[in-house]
Structure 1
Amino acid sequence: MERTEAAAPLTRPAAHAAGEGGLATPLISLRGAALAYGDRVLWRDLDLDVLPGEFLAVLGPNGSGKTSLLRVLLGRQPLTAGSVTVLGRAPRRGSSHIGYVPQQKSLPAHTMLRARDLVRLGMDGHRWGISLNPGAIGRRVDEILGSVGAMAYADVPVGKLSGGEQQRVRIAQALATDPRILLCDEPLLSLDLQSQRTVTTLVDQRRRSAETAVVFVTHEINPVLGLVDRVLYLAQGGFRIGTPDEVMTTSTLSQLYGTRVDVLRVRGRIVVVGAPDAATVHNHAGGPNGGGRP
């Protein structure tokens, strides 16, 4: 298995998160990490550090282990081999320091849970009993909804919101505990272009203002191309890590897939042609058949 990790310096907040005194301490660290289901290896020998304020996009065809990586970081899936630490310790479920935006799924129209209720669950849904300070929590919920531009529909049942509005609320829920790490699993799926821009802007604002590390699983790099510090591309049981210019190239992806893959840049967009997984071609090109689960 071939793998590379570029040594190029990070851009934007992660590059100077530690100030002038030295490098920042990674919030996420994997060493020799491997994940397999029986004889099927998703990835192995993965060494990766994610720094405060870094925006890491995770790309790859269906079944390459993108969502599984997030499950590892959430403490829901053990590694097959190697080690992982999140905020200096083994991953654990229910950490208030990690915000999680799950895959976009439209909620039924009859869902009566309000937007503010969903955000509040992100703050105290793991606790039993009555909140000790409901007034303070209510004010915090309003603050978070306001920060993502969702106060106008705070009391609207989430089932009646559009896909883009629901995703704003999910981001608000993920930010409810002021996390140091934000994990996003295909947050742009099924959203129109304007909603994609809204979601990516909200995520980028968070990492810039609070130096929150972002791990952003996506089937298309183009909506986040101008925001990403590095790309982790998973395919064929291997991976590549580097800046978009280093990873999204004909030579790099051809080596990773073990066959000819052409990477074209058309009017500032990246188009991948010839990848063995047909969905990957459509997804990176932003075509009508984009989507699918990782």
Structure 2
Amino acid sequence: MDRTEAGTSAFLRGHAQRTPERATPVISLRGAALAYGDRALWSGLDMEVRPGEFLAVLGPNGSGKTSLLRVILGRQQLTAGSVTVLGRVPRRGSRQIGYIPQQEALPAHSMPRVRDLVQLGIDGHRWGPSLTPRAIRRRVDEVLASVGATHLADIPVGRLSGGERQRVRVAQALATDPRILLCDEPLLSLDLRYQRTVIELVDRRRRGAGTAVVFVTHEINPVLGPLDRVLYLAPGGFLIGAPDEVMTTPTLSQLYGTRIDVVRVGGRIVVVGAPDADTVHSHADDPSAGGQP
């Protein structure tokens, strides 16, 4: 067993395996709508996410993918409808929600060390009991080991590669042992190797601890393995279902109101004709712009 596997085993020890499909939802939206002024992003959205489920959120820029995460985080109010997270109205700073934001450029001389960034995931929340300095340090070491980043602990964050930084962001998001993990375009600007690393870390967590994953992405192909369902947001509405139900020529053509071709090549999905189609086709190593709020 290598260091990563050993750390992960310790991190997940004591957790149940993936929760049965009919378990109580951890996220529930009913008749949810979101608009900015006269511009409606989506409406009538009914959706439940259950423990251990991996839901990918797809759609063109400006379709409200990041805004959906903000609603779940309690940072954005719905225009209509309702949302509950872990059985209650969402609020800022919940220790039961881990969040991986879109990558931001950092100067090479950025001073915070990796362990400092991860520590923010532990004591940077508004709610929850405080831990002793010794307990915090132990937790930081444990969570870094779980993602194979122990060797990065004392390196300034600004000196990390994009892939290393995302590995650390995963650690920060998992620091409070969350029941929900929200990922906002965590694969952007990463090569195929680091994309696989991030996906494997997220998938290992949800399988070992039953953590629900909501994964915003422009590129469906890297997540096809662990994926349970797709929520596709577009100007014509939304679709939610299994990948084979949503990612088809008829369904996406109906959603966009124009001909959209979905082709499967070598086990990969290629979408042709949709706005931003180049960000959801099979070129996973092409970095693209992130979704806008």
- Is 1:270–1:284's contact at 8 Å kept on the other side of the alignment? yes
- Is 1:106–1:163's contact at 8 Å kept on the other side of the alignment? no
Cα distance in 2 for partners of 1:68, 1:219 equals 15
1:237 positional shift: 4.4
Name the structure 2 match of 1:17: 19
TM-score (norm 1): 0.89
Cα distance in 1 for partners of 2:40, 2:248 equals 24
1:48 aligns with 2:47: yes
Distance 1:126 1:288, change over 3 A: closer
In structure 1, what residue type is equivalent to 2:289? Answer: G
- SS of match in other structure, 1:284: coil
Name the structure 2 match of 1:100: 99
After TM superposition, what 4+ stretches of structure 1 lie above 3 angstroms from structure 2? 287-290
Post-superposition CA distance 1:84-115 (Å, at most 9, x none): 00000001000000000000223210101100
1:126 positional shift: 3.4
TM-score (norm 2): 0.90
Name the structure 2 match of 1:239: 238
Name the structure 2 match of 1:280: 277
In structure 2, what residue type is equivalent to 1:17? Answer: T
- Is 2:183–2:216's contact at 8 Å kept on the other side of the alignment? yes
Name the structure 1 match of 2:56: 57
1:292 positional shift: 1.4
Name the structure 1 match of 2:120: 121
Post-superposition CA distance 1:190-233 (Å, at most 9, x none): 00100000000000000000000000000100110111000000
Post-superposition CA distance 1:162-202 (Å, at most 9, x none): 00000010010000000000000000000010000000000
- Is 1:26–1:52's contact at 8 Å kept on the other side of the alignment? yes
Post-superposition CA distance 1:98-149 (Å, at most 9, x none): 0000002232101011000000011012369xx6511111011000000000
In structure 1, what residue type is equivalent to 2:272? Answer: V
Cα distance in 1 for partners of 2:199, 2:152 equals 20
Name the structure 2 match of 1:4: none
Tell me the matched-pair count.
273
- SS of match in other structure, 2:142: helix
Name the structure 1 match of 2:184: 185
Distance 1:127 1:231, change over 3 A: closer
Cα distance in 1 for partners of 2:183, 2:281 equals 18
- Is 1:282–1:288's contact at 8 Å kept on the other side of the alignment? no
| Unaligned ranges ≥5, structure 2 | 1-16
In structure 2, what residue type is equivalent to 1:120? Answer: Q
Identity %, equivalent residues = 74
